Chain A
Amino acid sequence: MCGTCGCGDGQVQIDGRHHHGDAREIVLERDIMAKNDGYATANRQRLRDGGILALNLVSSPGSGKTSLLVKTIEMLSDVACSVIEGDQQTSHDADRIRATGAPAVQINTGKGCHLDAHMVGHAVDDLAPLPGSILFIENVGNLVCPAGFDLGEAHKVVVLSVTEGEDKPLKYPDMFAAADLALINKADLLPHLDVDMDRIVANARRINPKLDIIRISARTGEGMQDWLDWIRAAQAAMRPATAAE
């Protein structure tokens, strides 16, 4: 309805304009992320209905996400795992995952800097993860943009390698605020670096006091058992109480 004179629904136009040509204000209060969040809610419901634990792995490029995933899938030999790989270009990461025997789909975002919930919904269609399985979503390597996009995952897991330095949680706070778990990777390199592990932990907790943190090395296996325990606890937490053994 016209806010100026209260006439009809504004369909009357003269020379392509509303008949008296006055501007009016429309109060919208619409969430800009609503579209993505709608897809994310649908993904989350669908995954939960299938008892599928979805983990969204986020980090800067080169933190070792794919190596960590390969090792994780090999060690989770009694659970079906599948992977959605996000990269701007190439299918290198999906190829590495498939070599473990786990199904994987590669999303190439082209110029895009993050995965969104719509892309992930289609990837879930293609993958058709098994009921009770674990779905890993390896996001585009980027410590900024993926923080703002809910994909319908149960948890965001941020991977930070020790070579990236102690101040990354303070420099890129949104990602650490959005995550439930931080994996501090490449811990086997600590003896060779002037990096203080305690300061990494303190800075991450300063951003997100509730963050779980595991020191890990995909190369030596340090911390892998803690990570697997965390995954199994997350799986147990999503089972309805009636289904408990």
Chain B
Amino acid sequence: MHEMSLCENIRDIIQEQAAESGFVRVNRVWLEVGALSCVEPDALRFGFDVVMRGSVAEGAALEIATPAAKGRCLACGQVAVVAHRYDPCPACGAVEMQVTQGDALKISKLEVV
């Protein structure tokens, strides 16, 4: 359940931002969780409500965007969307797709009061 410690990171970043920008409450948090990041969105949601209690983001809604991952085939150079790390190259069929993006994990924006 490393999603719990990720939620603690999210809370710390929001608290820092609250001190910096002077907001007192967060209504909504938008996250970007890459399709191939090591994170399970459902586990993140579960941890989020618990961890945000007592912070400026207590009760905030959570929106999670999951951008698709991309990879480059080491055999033929094709760049394509990768749903799983074991997907073969859609062009040549080689199972040599090197994931190039789609494992990011970030807070995109906040709706605050």
What is A's interface to B at a CB cutoff of 8 Å? 9-11, 13, 16-18, 21-36, 112-114, 116, 144-145, 147-149, 170, 173-174, 176-177, 203, 205-210
By beta carbon, the residue of chain B nearest A35 is B9
* A-contact 0/1 string along B19-50, CB 8 Å cutoff: 00111110100010000111100000000000
What residues on B are CB-neighbors of A208 within 8 Å? 85
Q: Known pairs A10-B21, A26-B21, A26-B23. 9 more at Cβ < 8 A?
A: A23-B113, A26-B112, A27-B109, A28-B109, A29-B107, A31-B106, A148-B39, A170-B86, A210-B98
When distances are taken between beta carbons in the complex, the residues of chain A under 8 Å from B2 are 113-114, 144-145, 148-149
Tell me the minimal C-beta distance from B105 to chain A in angstroms: 5
Contact A18 B113 (CB under 8 A): yes
Whether A209 contacts B17 by the Cβ 8 Å rule is no
Q: Is there an interface contact between B1 and A113, defined as CB atoms closer than 8 Å?
A: yes
- Whether B106 pairs with A25 at a CB distance below 8 angstroms is no
B13's contact among A18, A22, A28, A147, by CB below 8 Å, is which?
A28
- Across the interface, which residues of A come within 8 angstroms of B95, CB to CB? 205-206, 209
Name 8 A/B residue pairs within 8 A (Cβ), A-sorted. Answer: A9-B21, A9-B22, A13-B24, A26-B17, A147-B38, A149-B2, A174-B85, A208-B85
> In the complex, how many residue pairs between chain A and chain B have their CB atoms under 8 Å apart?
113
Top 3 A-B residue pairs of the complex, sorted by shortest distance between their CB atoms: A148-B38, A145-B2, A10-B22
What A residues does B97 contact at CB under 8 A? Answer: 209
Q: Name the residue in B6, B12, B99, B112 with the highest tally of chain A Cβ atoms < 10 Å from its Cβ.
A: B112
A11 and B22 within 8 A (CB) = yes
Q: Closest Cβ of chain A: how far from B34's Cβ, in Å?
A: 11
Q: Which of B12, B25, B86 has the most CB of A within 10 A?
A: B86
* Interface status of B53 (Cβ within 8 A of chain A): no
Q: How far is the CB of B67 from chain A (nearest CB, A)?
A: 13
Looking at A25, A30, A116, which has the most chain B CB atoms within 10 Å of its CB?
A30
Does B78 touch A at the CB level, under 8 Å?
Answer: no
Which residue in B12, B23, B96 is a CB contact (below 8 Å) of A209?
A: B96
In the complex, which of the residues B13, B27, B37, B105 contacts A23, with contact meaning CB atoms closer than 8 Å? B27
Roughly how many angstroms separate A10 CA and B6 CA in the complex, as a whole number?
28
Closest chain-B Cβ to A243's Cβ sits at a distance in Å of 32
Residues on B with C-beta less than 8 A from A30 are: 13, 17, 106-107
